[in-house]
């Protein structure tokens, strides 16, 4: 179970890194390459673990990890820019350690495999690959899957357009 909790912590760190410290940019209204979520202001609406794990050690499984995010992170916006940059803003609620805005990285999408690849703007060796489950102008749902010691765990993240 310790290895699974390590995965959960890694996924949470990815999420916080992706959503925090973004720059507010002009938003394109036309989707790039037919991707309806491009240029939309997306906010995380759900972060589901499958199977659910006991993240806080209270003896009860925690299927939606949104409850563990601080309020100042829950309103952060992510924007998949038309030119392949990933940007956004920190939202109205500010965390004490929010830094001035900056781009958070870059992204690419493979239509054939439905894989969304995100490269961290501060460390180009930090690459996350998410399988897109649903993509519309209102919703982006993607999944990360990891197998450790024969056990598969998935994190399913859903962003909603503002």
Q: What is the pLDDT of residues 45-71, one digit of tens each?
A: 999 988 888 888 899 998 888 888 888
Model's pTM, two decimal places?
A: 0.75
Q: Which CATH architecture has domain 2-91+103-161?
A: Beta Barrel (2.40)
CA distance 55 to 76: 22
With contact defined as beta carbons under 8 Å apart, do 55 and 8 qualify?
Answer: yes
CA-angle at 68, arms to 45 and 121, nearest 5°: 70
160 versus 54: the higher-pLDDT residue is 160
Kindly report, residue by residue over 102-126, the tens digit of the pLDDT.
557 899 999 999 999 999 888 888 8
Place of tokens 């765990």: 153
Residue 18: pLDDT band with limits 50, 70, 90? very low
Residue 60 pLDDT: 92
**Alpha-carbon torsion (50, 81, 107, 38), positive or negative:** positive
CA distance 115 to 130: 6
Give the largest CA-CA distance in the chain: 47
């Amino acid at each position: 179970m310790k290895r699974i909790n390590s995965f959960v912590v890694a996924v949470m760190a990815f999420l916080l890194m992706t959503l925090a410290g973004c720059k507010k940019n002009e938003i394109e209204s036309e989707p790039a390459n037919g991707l309806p979520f491009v240029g939309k202001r997306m906010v995380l609406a759900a972060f589901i673990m499958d199977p659910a794990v006991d993240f806080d050690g209270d003896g009860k499984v925690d299927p939606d990890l949104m409850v563990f995010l601080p309020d100042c992170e829950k309103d952060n916006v992510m924007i998949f820019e038309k030119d392949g940059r990933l940007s956004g803003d920190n939202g109205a609620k500010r965390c004490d350690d929010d830094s001035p805005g900056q781009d958070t990285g870059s992204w690419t999408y493979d239509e054939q495999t439905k894989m969304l690849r995100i490269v961290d703007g501060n460390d180009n060796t930090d690459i996350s690959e998410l399988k897109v489950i649903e993509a519309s102008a209102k919703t982006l749902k993607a999944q990360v899957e990891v197998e450790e010691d024969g056990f598969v765990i998935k994190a399913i993240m859903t962003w909603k357009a503002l």
